[in-house]
Structure 1
């Protein structure tokens, strides 16, 4: 059995892609997943599945979201162990957890995706790339940040962002 953390991309932001967490829990239970829990209202779920291939689990959840709830979105998965590694490998100081974020990528970006990009232009904002995560420190707040917008234009990979409070809370739920 594998413990998964599912991050639904761009749900419950504004008036589009709405899904209740009760509906999400019911959908996951209906797929045969156990010990299902959700966190906040932004498409975060933790569950246990017999399937060990994350790509199959993500595809199943995406298909069922579309079929049962009419919601088309990407699901990015990490195992509990992978999420623990994300937390332990954070190369940036977390002085304010609400202003430190992780972008979870569906797949690794192209190796040259940052070629010629001047991170210094965005100081005091900071970024460090992992294999399938991008760590950001945004001292002036997420809403005012310029770096995520500029990086998003270059990235060309499906991703979803969570603040550090959410990341560590999801890890606690997963473990």
Structure 2
């Protein structure tokens, strides 16, 4: 059928906005020609097979969201190898024991990051790094309690940005292998 791809959608099923039923989403992806479609949890993670390239897939899924579900969201598409490399490139090995404390922000297109500005608003113990197109944010105090977590995109600007914690990344990678 083609290469395996991973699509990460931004801002679906969050706070009552961007409602996206996963069963209907899987059907929509199958109807436009994607094979072996699987989803992980309710936050817009899909794994499937396609002969299209990442740019075509992103544009097509954006269209599916608009046509079938009535809203538009950024879609970040990557290969399973790219996700595995992002997981392996984690600069914060302490996060391996606390996978929900590390968030990976996948960035597409042009990226502008104000390193110094972001560093100034981080709490003690929070760490971050930017490796290739992935911004890693590690917080042992909890992502939801972090003042900096709520302002990341003020300092990290990209055409597409979507985040997943390390635990979710690992589970999506496993889904892509199967």
Whether the TM-score (by the shorter chain) exceeds 0.5 is yes
Alpha carbons of structure 1 residues 151 and 106: separation in structure 2 relative to 1, 3 Å: same
Structure 1 residue 130, shift from structure 2 partner: 1.4
Aligned pairs for 1:57-96 (under 5 A) are 57-93=57-93, 94=95, 95-96=97-98
1:31–1:147 distance in 2 versus 1, CA, 3 Å: same
Stretches of structure 2 that go unaligned for 5 or more consecutive residues are none
- Structure 1 residues 97-146: Cα deviation after superposition (integer angstroms, max 9, x where no partner): 11111011122513xx2253362652211111011111111111111112
Q: TM (normalized to structure 2)?
A: 0.90
Deviation, 1:150, is 3.4
Q: Is the partner of 1:73 in helix, strand or coil?
A: coil
**What aligned pairs does 1:1-175 form with structure 2 within 5 A after superposition?**
1-51=2-52, 53-93=53-93, 94=95, 95-110=97-112, 113-114=113-114, 116-117=116-117, 119=119, 122=122, 123-157=124-158, 158-175=160-177
Which structure 1 segments of 5+ residues have no match? none
Aligned residue pair count: 172
Q: Tell me the TM-score normalized by structure 1.
A: 0.92
- Residues 18-38 of structure 1 show CA distances to partners (whole Å, capped at 9, x for unaligned) of 001001101111111111100
Secondary structure of the structure 1 residue equivalent to 2:150:
helix
Q: In structure 2, how many angstroms separate the alpha carbons of the residues matched to 1:108 and 1:172?
A: 29
Work out the CA distance in 2 between the residues paired with 1:115 and 1:15. Answer: 32
RMSD of the alignment, in Å? Answer: 1.5
Decide whether the 8 Å contact of 1:104 with 1:159 is kept in 2.
yes
Of Structure 1 and Structure 2, the greater strand share is in 2
